[in-house]
Amino acid sequence: MDVTDKIAVVTGGGRGIGRGITLVLAGNGANVVVADINKDGANEVAQEVIDIGRESIGVKLDVTDQLSVDKAVEEILDRFGRIDILVNCAGIIASPDWEGRDRHNESDWDINYEVNVKGIARVTDAVSLGMKERKYGKIVNIASVSGRQGTLTNIPYGVTKAGVINLTQAQALELAPFNINVNSICPGLVWTDMWGRIAEQWGKSRPQWEGKSGREIYEETVLVRTPLGRDQTADDMGYAVSFLASDYAKNITGQSLNVSGGFFMN
Ligand SMILES: NC(=O)c1ccc[n+]([C@@H]2O[C@H](COP(=O)([O-])OP(=O)(O)OC[C@H]3O[C@@H](n4cnc5c(N)ncnc54)[C@H](O)[C@@H]3O)[C@@H](O)[C@H]2O)c1
């Protein structure tokens, strides 16, 4: 898990799973750039990294906007000179009014594809240019167990997460000649703002959850779905990412690892 003095970038690092991954990478010795559409969140997490003794900056990044991606990468290279590790964690579940609807619509398809799939492709293409020149890089994409099998969580979301698993394999093939490893992890159930949105939408649209709080819906889902009987944490994702981003995993590429307490085993 040693990533000492590596320069890592975590997209979507301003809260939730991305924050956990950022802090675990920093705890394992990396200097970590926190890149997020929410600059304030990015800055706060960057300060947490500095507080544990590693270097960091918060960077404004919108993965749906090529200019924003190019500008962010330039800013990071100006400050750190290189990027060794890229974690593509920025993700979205649905468009903003989803909680008020009982089913997905056209805008859910668009936003999921823009952020979850094209966002990873855009950032990876920009960051891997320097990795290719230096013949070194570790890329970890955050997919989901929702990409392993069709689910009703939110159909466009699951489809795009299946896309992330496929994209990871294609990127691994494309970048292998440059000694760049590309893998993904598939988180199971982690209580974050995103899960808060899922629970709210389920609470409003599914009769079996009527009258339950978001947290109750989440906890019951964990018990029913998870053989190990417990939910996962953002730190759990950080441990898996740290391994895949370390040289201990130098012969692992194109793989997707479930970190789900046994929820999914494929
Ligand atoms: N929470 C779970 O149980 C769970 C399960 C499986 C997979 N995941 C995946 O983990 C990742 C993180 O999820 P989370 O639960 O922490 O969600 P979250 O909503 O709490 O955090 C998402 C982060 O991504 C950022 N972001 C959103 N759109 C962006 C954009 N266009 N450009 C840059 N940053 C953007 C947000 O500002 C936020 O900081 C996502 O890819 C999600 O699909 C989460």
Short-list 129, 43, 27, CA closest to 86: 129
- 109-165-199 Cα angle (round to 5): 50
Res 259: pLDDT: 98
Q: Say how many domains are in the chain.
A: 1
Quote the ligand 1 centre to 130 CA distance (angstroms): 25
Q: Give the structural domain span for 49.
A: 7-190+232-259
Told to judge if 157 belongs to the known catalytic residues of this protein, a careful annotator would answer yes
d(CA 40, CA 58): 8
Residue 18 included in any domain? yes
Q: Given a cut of 80, is residue 95 above it in pLDDT?
A: yes
Mutate to test the pocket of ligand 1, among 11, 34, 92 (most ligand atoms within 8 A of CB): 92
Residue 206 included in any domain? no
Res 192: pLDDT: 98
Tens-place pLDDT, residues 112-155: 999 999 999 999 999 999 999 999 999 999 999 999 999 999 99
Short-list 195, 95, 182, CA closest to 142: 182
Residue 166 included in any domain? yes
d(CA 25, CA 2): 9
Instruction: Kindly report the CATH number assigned to the domain that includes residue 51.
Output: 3.40.50.720
Tens-place pLDDT, residues 171-184: 999 999 999 999 99
Residue 17 included in any domain? yes
pTM assigned to the model: 0.98
Residue 99 included in any domain? yes
Burial readout 168-183 (b: 16 or more C-beta within 10 A, e: otherwise) = bbebbeebeeeebbbb
Q: Exactly one of 136, 157, 218, 239 is catalytic; name it.
A: 157
Mean residue pLDDT of the chain comes to 97
Confidence band of 165 (pLDDT split at 50, 70, 90): very high
Res 1: pLDDT: 75
* Ligand 1 contacts CB of residue 34 (under 6 A): no
Arithmetic mean of pLDDT, 101-105:
94
Query: Which atom, in ligand 1's list, is nearest to the CA of 195?
Result: 1
Residue 202 included in any domain? no
Tens-place pLDDT, residues 190-231: 999 999 999 999 999 999 999 999 999 999 999 999 999 999
What's at 152, amino acid-wise? L
**Can you state the angle between helices 155-175 and 119-134, rounded to 10 degrees?**
20
Residue 105 included in any domain? yes
Residue 195 included in any domain? no
Q: Are 187 and 144 in contact (CB under 8 A)?
A: yes
Confidence band of 170 (pLDDT split at 50, 70, 90): very high
Res 30: pLDDT: 98
Q: Are 139 and 180 in contact (CB under 8 A)?
A: yes
Res 20: pLDDT: 98
Report H helices in 53-192: 66-80, 106-112, 119-134, 155-175
Q: Residue 120 has which token pair? A: 């990873």
Res 200: pLDDT: 95
Res 154: pLDDT: 94
